[in-house]
Amino acid sequence: MVTPLKDFNEHVIKVVDEVSKGVVTITTVKLGFESIFGTVPIRGLGSGFLIGENIIVTNAHVVSDARVVDVIFFDGSRFDGRVLIADTYRDVALVSVEKVPDGIRPLPLGDSNKLRVGEIVFAVGSPLGLPGPTVTMGVISAVGRNIVGENVALEDLIQTDAAINPGNSGGPLVNVDGMAVGMVTAIIPYAQGVGFAIPINTVKRVLEMIKLYGRPVRAMIGVYAASITPQLASAYRLPLKRGLIIVRVIPGTPAYEARIAPGDIITKIAGKEVSDVRELRRAVEDSIMQGYVELEVYRQGYGYRRVKVPIMVEEVG
């Protein structure tokens, strides 16, 4: 008798087998410096996955500054890799190879905006230098996590309890349908069941920017904002239940010069309603060529009033 559990098991085996063919091991050689020996080669290890005819996506921290990049497919075939772009801020890099073994197809890309907490996912990669892709299973523990450092700002990260080890970086996080929904990027040392992946929509966004501008770009107006929820609106007695409330304005930035202030509520940007910080960031990036973006703001004064504020857009980095 075939049980639903057995059917699911067979489905997972088939999905993992297909996905693993598009996952690669990436080995690198970088130059380091030691006080005694001077310049020395440092070997690195990571993972990646095929997203185009001969294009592989991985983490920027896996291949940045590498003098040698080798790409190894599941069948053992090895090719020289060429780093096309390395967006260290978003930790996304693209690597090209001259050819791909026969029968290997790019991984289909899902929609990370539709992920739900509790959804089953698989991390596929080459942890600890073990040969061939290996697979771990877990669930989506949380979404919208942020890790901000001096030269990196990983936003809207996916948190998962799927086991992630050194060498997994750059490998795909896939759902039960075999769609890549994220790219593994970080683990928290000494914490059990806490790993992070970059949403696949961030990878798609990098690809879009390359088509638009020829490179990944960053742009800013100088605000920190939060999405208004019914709970937030009720707690702070806000006049609106949708939009973005300004939490902080960075001094000296275009938003500061335009007199945007904490407590202002952005209802539209570039003429479109906005309720998510990602929509704000995308609209600002899309306005780089134009040089400015117009916000519609609900502003507190003597009561609330709606104003339109043009703000200069600055490309950074």
107 close to 19: Cβ distance less than 8 angstroms: yes
**Using CA atoms, how far apart are residues 237 and 241, in angstroms rounded to an integer?**
10
Q: What is the pLDDT of residue 147?
A: 75
Q: Is the pLDDT of residue 184 over 90?
A: yes
DSSP H or E segment with residue 197 = strand 195-199
40: number of Cβ within 10 Å? 11
Is residue 242 a contact partner of residue 230, using CB atoms and an 8 Å limit?
Answer: no
Q: Rounded CA gap, 255 and 65, in Å?
A: 35
**Marked catalytic residue, from 61, 112, 141, 287:** 61
Determine the Cα–Cα distance for residues 60 and 117; give it in Å rounded to an integer: 27
112 as an active site residue: the answer is: no
Whether 80 is a known active-site residue: answer no
**Does the pLDDT of residue 37 top 90, yes or no?**
no
Choose, from 169, 264, 286, 287, the residue flagged as catalytic.
169
Please confirm, yes or no, whether 169 is among the known catalytic residues.
Answer: yes
Q: 3-7, 46-50, 128-132, 147-151: which has the highest mean pLDDT?
A: 46-50
Q: What is the DSSP letter of 95?
A: E
Mean pLDDT computed over every residue of the chain: 87
pLDDT at residue 120 is higher than 90? yes
When pLDDT is averaged across residues 95-105 and rounded to a whole number, the result is 92
Position 1 scores a pLDDT of: 44
Q: List, in order of start, the domains of the chain with CATH numbers.
A: 4-96 (2.40.10.10), 112-213 (2.40.10.10), 218-316 (2.30.42.10)
Q: What pLDDT does 281 receive? A: 87
C-alpha to C-alpha distance for 74 and 132, rounded to whole angstroms? 5
Residue 128 phi, psi dihedral angles, 5° rounding: 60, 20
What pLDDT was estimated at residue 148?
66
User: pTM of the prediction?
Assistant: 0.83
Catalytic option among 20, 47, 87, 91: 91
User: Which residue reads 């693993």 in tokens?
Assistant: 20
